[in-house]
């Protein structure tokens, strides 16, 4: 555990613990195009936090925990 004087651990997105990921980071980890990640977000398949809209594209951040759940997949059941 870090004290007040020690630096906090930073993730790829620059936030403490790497809690939020960009669309590009998620796409890279899943080996898909950023357009695919954005499509999953707009269709409700991937939960994301919308950022204030500036420019042509809506910005999003995805919780690392959400990505980890997606990668874990559904639990296996006995048939």
- Residue 35 in any domain: the answer is yes
Q: Is the pLDDT of residue 30 over 90?
A: yes
Strand order in the sheet with 49-50: 20-22, 60-63, 49-50
In the prediction, which pLDDT does 36 show?
A: 97
- Residue 13 in any domain: the answer is no
Write out the residue range of the structural domain in which residue 50 sits.
20-71
Q: How many domains does the chain have?
A: 1
Give the pLDDT confidence of 57-78 residue by residue, as tens digits.
899 999 999 999 888 888 777 6
- Residue 47 in any domain: the answer is yes
- Residue 32 in any domain: the answer is yes
Q: Is the pLDDT of residue 23 over 50?
A: yes
In the prediction, which pLDDT does 71 show?
A: 87
- Residue 46 in any domain: the answer is yes
- Residue 29 in any domain: the answer is yes
Task: Tell me if the pTM is above 0.75.
Answer: no
Helix/strand/coil percentages in the chain, nearest 5: 35, 15, 55
- Residue 77 in any domain: the answer is no
């Amino acid at each position: 555990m870090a004290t007040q004087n020690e630096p906090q651990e930073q993730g790829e997105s620059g936030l403490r613990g790497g809690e939020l990921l960009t669309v590009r980071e998620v796409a890279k980890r899943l080996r898909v195009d950023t357009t695919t990640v954005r499509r999953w977000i707009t269709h409700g398949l991937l939960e994301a936090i919308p950022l204030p809209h500036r420019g042509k594209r809506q910005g999003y951040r995805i919780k690392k925990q959400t990505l980890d759940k997606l990668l874990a997949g559904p639990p296996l059941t006995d048939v």
